[in-house]
C-alpha cells in the first residue's frame, strides 16, 4: 500500500471528488493509501480537504477510538478537532443518532457555504443492488433521476438528513465504502428513500 503523496495524490483525489460532486450518485473508485485504523480509503480525502483552516468532528460507536483517530487526523492534516455543531467536516465511522445529525451546521441564507460536509464510511455503495437503503436522486448534475443504494446506514439517517436540508442551506454528504467506492450527494440534490424496483 502506497504512502500519500501530497502533490500527486491530492490532485488525483481532488479530481475524483470534483467528478463525484458534479455527477451526484456516480460511483468512483479510490485508491487505498497507507493509514492507521483502517482509514486507507478515507485518508486521501482527509489529506485533500482538511488543513489548518478547517475543523472536524469524528463519530464512532467505539469511544476508545475517537480520541486516537481524531488526533491522528489532526496531526496529519493540521485540521482542528471541534464539537459537532462547530465543525466544517463531520466524519462518521458509524451511523449517528438523529440528535447528532440535527446539530450539524447547515449555514444560513446569508452564508449557506458554512454548511458542513459529512464524510460517511459505509459497508457498500452500488447503483444496482437491492442491499442497503435505496435512494432516488434528482437535481443538478443528474439527467432526470439516478439510483443509489447505501448499505451501512438506516432509513432513519436519510430521513433525518432530508429534514435538515433546506437548499441553499444544508449539508453535502460524501460516502466511502469498505472497497474504496466513492459517491456524493450534494445539498442541492433531492434525495428520496424508495424501495428498489418501484
The rounded distance, in Å, linking the Cα atoms of 121 and 53 is: 23
Q: What's the pTM value of the predicted model, to 2 decimals? A: 0.96
Q: What is the pLDDT of residue 198?
A: 47
According to DSSP, the residues that pair with 56 across neighbouring strands are 81, 89
Buried b (16+ CB within 10 A) or exposed e, 69-105: bbebbbebbebeeeebeebbbbbbbebbeeebbebbb
Would you say residue 148 lies in a domain? no
Would you say residue 27 lies in a domain? yes
Would you say residue 108 lies in a domain? yes
Task: Average pLDDT across each block of 10 residues of the chain; the chain has 198 residues. List them in order.
Answer: 91 97 97 92 97 98 95 97 98 97 96 97 87 92 93 95 94 97 97 72
- SS3 of residue 55 by DSSP: strand
Would you say residue 143 lies in a domain? no
Among candidate residues 118, 112, 109, 114, the one with its CA nearest the CA of residue 161: 118
Q: What is the pLDDT of residue 196?
A: 55
- The one-character DSSP state at 112 is G
* Three cell numbers, residue 44: 486521501
Name the average pLDDT for the chain.
Answer: 94
Would you say residue 111 lies in a domain? yes
Would you say residue 164 lies in a domain? yes
Would you say residue 131 lies in a domain? no
pLDDT more than 70, % of the chain: 97
- Give the CATH number for residue 184: 3.40.50.11310
Q: What is the pLDDT of residue 128?
A: 79
Q: What is the pLDDT of residue 89?
A: 98
Q: What is the pLDDT of residue 2?
A: 87
Q: How many CA atoms lie within 13 A of 109 on its CB side?
A: 0
The rounded distance, in Å, linking the Cα atoms of 72 and 78 is: 10
Q: Residue 63: exposed, middle, or buried by beta-carbon count in 10 A (0-12, 13-18, 19+)?
A: exposed
State the virtual CA torsion across 70, 64, 118, 14 in degrees, nearest 10: 40
The rounded distance, in Å, linking the Cα atoms of 23 and 186 is: 10
Domain span at residue 89 reads 8-125+153-189
Q: What is the pLDDT of residue 69?
A: 97
Q: Domain tally for the chain?
A: 1
Amino acid at each position: 500500500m502506497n504512502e500519500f503523496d501530497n502533490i500527486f495524490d491530492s490532485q488525483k483525489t481532488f479530481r475524483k471528488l470534483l467528478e463525484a460532486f458534479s455527477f451526484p450518485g456516480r460511483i468512483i473508485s479510490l485508491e487505498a493509501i497507507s493509514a492507521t485504523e483502517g482509514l486507507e480509503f478515507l485518508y486521501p480525502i482527509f489529506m485533500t480537504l482538511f488543513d489548518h483552516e478547517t475543523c472536524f468532528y469524528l463519530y464512532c460507536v467505539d469511544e476508545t477510538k475517537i480520541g486516537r483517530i481524531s488526533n491522528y487526523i489532526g496531526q496529519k492534516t493540521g485540521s482542528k478537532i471541534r464539537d459537532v455543531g462547530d465543525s466544517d467536516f463531520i466524519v462518521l465511522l458509524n451511523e449517528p443518532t438523529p440528535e447528532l445529525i440535527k446539530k450539524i451546521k447547515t449555514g444560513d441564507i446569508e452564508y449557506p457555504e458554512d454548511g458542513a460536509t459529512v464524510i460517511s464510511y459505509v459497508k457498500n455503495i452500488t447503483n444496482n443492488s437491492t442491499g442497503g437503503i435505496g435512494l432516488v436522486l434528482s437535481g443538478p448534475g443528474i439527467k432526470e433521476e439516478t439510483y443509489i443504494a447505501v448499505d451501512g446506514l438506516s432509513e432513519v439517517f436519510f430521513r433525518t438528513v432530508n429534514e435538515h436540508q433546506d437548499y441553499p442551506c444544508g449539508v453535502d454528504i460524501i460516502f466511502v465504502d469498505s472497497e474504496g467506492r466513492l459517491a456524493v450527494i450534494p445539498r442541492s440534490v433531492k434525495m428520496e428513500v424508495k424501495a428498489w424496483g418501484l
